[in-house]
Amino acid sequence: MNQFAHGLLTMASIVAALFFARYWKMSGDRLFVFFALAFAALAANWSVLSLLNPAVETQHYVYLIRLVAFVLIIAGIVDKNRRERRF
């Protein structure tokens, strides 16, 4: 059942990444690129978790992929806020 849930979360993350990539293509806003990359990283995280043994799930290297995704989101927000102040 965990593999099914991880597969579902992988698919949902890929769909979200594709939506953000499409919004970036339409608007040209870099924030959408950061979000698309973050959701692609989350999709990689869920797919790795579905392939691993459940006992290995608590290892630190699995969480590094998720950390990269959240850092990308924070970097995108900071980048967006810094670009808005420039005239």
pLDDT band at 59 (very low <50, low <70, confident <90, very high): confident
**pTM of the prediction?**
0.86
pLDDT at 55 exceeding the cut of 90: no
Q: Name the token pair of 62.
A: 């699995």
pLDDT band at 84 (very low <50, low <70, confident <90, very high): low
What's the alpha-carbon Rg for the chain, to the nearest Å?
15
Q: Rounded to an integer, what distance in angstroms lies between the CA atom of residue 35 and that of residue 80?
A: 12
CB of 47 within 8 A of CB of 82?
A: no
pLDDT band at 3 (very low <50, low <70, confident <90, very high): confident
| Domain spans, the chain | 2-85
